Amino acid sequence: MPSPSVSETIATAKKSGRGVVIGYLPMGFPDLATSVEAAVALAEEGFDVLELGVPYSDPVMDGPLISRSTQRALEGGFKLRDLFPAISEITRRVDIPVLVMTYWNPVVQYGVEKFTTDLLAAGAKGLITPDLIPDEADEWLDISERLGAERVFLAAPSSSDERLARAVEESRGFVYAVSTMGITGTRAGVDQAAHTVVSRLREQHADSVCVGLGISTGEHVDEVLAYADGAIVGSALVRALDEGGLGQLRAVAAGLTKHSGLQAR
């Protein structure tokens, strides 16, 4: 039985009065087989959605930790063609939706329609595209709509109201609210800017908003789920996998997913 879409997963969580926790890991780190096991481990430890990153040679939004991990994946021989069989193996073993986070150039080089077709055939639901804005996404909007792929655009503290409105209009699944200006990485606290961005997105009638960048503890998850529909955790999981392998990853993941009770807004 296929897993639900991201939209369905968030809607189901809302009905039960909680938020979703989304886990990011780069594919191919520390090697391809382990990255598959790591993704499965997140699902087994209670994450609601998987966000799998495509290693890229110029990761302009990624902080040092994730940049190093994706560079190690590339040095270890990861190729874009490895992505689809790896996702197929993951989706065969988990019952939660999978999104792929990728910079846009690899998709263009592969062919947007072929990439989307292969992605969906592997069981993934769609893409998060951090460096692609809706105003420049005509081909992706057309193909994703036609093939039924979910698409997630980013909204930043610096975004104009017009840009936020467009992100809300064109996103399918959720809008990704960037919690801070700058690059990814764990922080002592989640910026107040996150709350402001989510509020502004609500004013644009956003149905589902998830917050990412800087969320690394259960307390951060609690804080975010008080006002958003989902919390996205990345660097904390990558660090755990790097420092302590699958065992430490599972321990950190279990601590994070205990904090998904959605407080009343």
- Enter the tokens of residue 227: 């006002």
**243 a catalytic residue:** no
Distance CA 150, CA 172 (A): 5
Of these residues, 45, 62, 170, 191, which one is catalytic?
A: 62
List Cα–Cα distances, 246 to 35, 114, 140, 182, 218, in angstroms.
9, 33, 35, 29, 19
- Enter the tokens of residue 41: 């481990």
Of these residues, 44, 45, 48, 51, which one is catalytic?
A: 51
β strands within the chain, DSSP E:
20-26, 49-53, 98-101, 126-128, 150-152, 154-155, 175-178, 209-212, 230-233
Distance CA 42, CA 144 (A): 27
Contact between residue 253 and residue 47 where contact means Cβ atoms under 8 Å apart: yes
**51 a catalytic residue:** yes
Q: Which residues are catalytic?
A: 51, 62
